[in-house]
Amino acid sequence: MATMHPGPIAYFEGNYVPVEEAKVSIMTHAFNYGTGLFEGIRGYYAPEEDNVLIFRLKEHVDRFVRNFRILCMEIPESFEQIEEVCKEVVRRSGFREGVYIRPLCYKSDLSLGPTVKGVGSSFCCYIIKLGDYCDTQSGLDVAVSSWRRLSDNAIPSRVKSTGSYINSSLAATEAKQNGFHEAIFLREDGSVAEGSAMNIFMILNGKLITTPPTSDILVGITRNTVLELARDYMGLEVVERPIARTELYVCDELFFSGTGAQVAPVRSVDRRVLGNGEPGPITRKLQEVYFDVVQGKVPQYRHWCTPVY
């Protein structure tokens, strides 16, 4: 990810503090063992109403707190307080542009030993300015990674845990070093999982197909949004099923979804060009609808947008 332009105020140890003061000890459990879990949430600036609209805040907080169970985390902040903190850090930044909100829950005790039970947790949150995370216009050149997606029985992929991003970092780095924009992870069984920080969709014979929650993916909020928009708003047939590697080469269209990636078309996989090398028509339409929805322009999905100011 690019250089950080943080908001001046973060939430840390129960207070709003200058972001430079929000620091942890080198003995912190999460720093040593990767025992943190987080969310990435976008806020979009809507110029017509001069407001920042947070996209699907409730769904992000819901995924966040559900995953506390897997890592045995307990914090004093309630669901509603977490939502409020996410809004308040934006308000305190005064930003009137695209933002990315990063709530994080981490094992904050200074303690030795890899365990998740009995180690105290804390909640913090900061924001940064964020425009495009990857290109959404011309189409990405991607490669199947030599790194396998971590499996649910090793480091649970459905948990957005800090430690699990070593897996993503290795794949994304390899792809970039080899001259590609992004990586696609296969699972240990050789079927497709997802991108390094995004879910994957293909269009084959008019159907929209994506890998199921049992395919070692992070079950993306954007993925769920795209599925719902495709089915209910665009009337497409949507299918969640395993995807074989070679289907990526022969499908009609391919794109990534993610809070950072948004809806990002893919134009080639392992140097095999898809279609005519341009983002396909269904991808383009979905992308258009997605951008309208996140900017609060589609009344039936307006409840997904939370104004902060």
Q: Please state the closest distance from residue 26 (CB atom) to ligand PMP, in A.
A: 26
Q: Does 223 bind ligand PMP (CB under 6 A)?
A: yes
Q: Which is nearer to ligand PMP, 136 or 222 (CB)?
A: 222
Q: Please state the closest distance from residue 97 (CB atom) to ligand PMP, in A.
A: 19
Q: Does 222 bind ligand PMP (CB under 6 A)?
A: yes
Site for ligand PMP in 105-164 (CB under 6 A): 160
Give the range of 74-82, 139-147, 197-205, 299-307 binding ligand PMP by CB under 6 A: 197-205
Q: Please state the closest distance from residue 215 (CB atom) to ligand PMP, in A.
A: 11
Out of 117, 160, 176, 207, pick the active-site residue. 160
Give the range of 66-74, 194-202, 230-238, 242-250 binding ligand PMP by CB under 6 A: 194-202
Site for ligand PMP in 21-80 (CB under 6 A): 40
117 is catalytic: no
125: Cα separation from own chain's centroid: 16
Calpha distance 229→240 (Å, rounded): 15
Which of residues 121, 161, 211, 259 is near ligand PMP by CB under 6 A?
259
Q: Please state the closest distance from residue 251 (CB atom) to ligand PMP, in A.
A: 19
Site for ligand PMP in 228-257 (CB under 6 A): 257
Which of residues 37, 82, 198, 202 is near ligand PMP by CB under 6 A?
198
Q: Which is nearer to ligand PMP, 198 or 264 (CB)?
A: 198
Q: Please state the closest distance from residue 28 (CB atom) to ligand PMP, in A.
A: 22
3-state SS of the chain is: CCCCCECCEEEECCEEEEHHHCCCCCCEHHHHHCCEEECCEEEEEEHHHCEEEEECHHHHHHHHHHHHCCCCCCCCCCHHHHHHHHHHHHHHHCCCCCEEEEEEEEECCECCCCCCCCCCEEEEEEEEECCCCCCCCCCEEEEEEEEECCCCCCCCCCCCECCCHHHHHHHHHHHHHCCCCEEEEECCCCCEEEECCCEEEEEECCEEEECCCCCCCCCCHHHHHHHHHHHHHCCCCEEECCCCCCHHHHCCEEEEEECCCEEEEEEEECCEECCCCCCCHHHHHHHHHHHHHHCCCCHHHHHHEEECC
The sign of the CA dihedral 195, 199, 202, 203 is negative
Which of residues 35, 93, 199, 287 is near ligand PMP by CB under 6 A?
199
Q: Which is nearer to ligand PMP, 9 or 248 (CB)?
A: 248
Catalytic residues: 160
Residues lying near ligand PMP in the complex (CB under 6 A): 40, 160, 168, 194, 197-199, 218, 220-223, 257-259
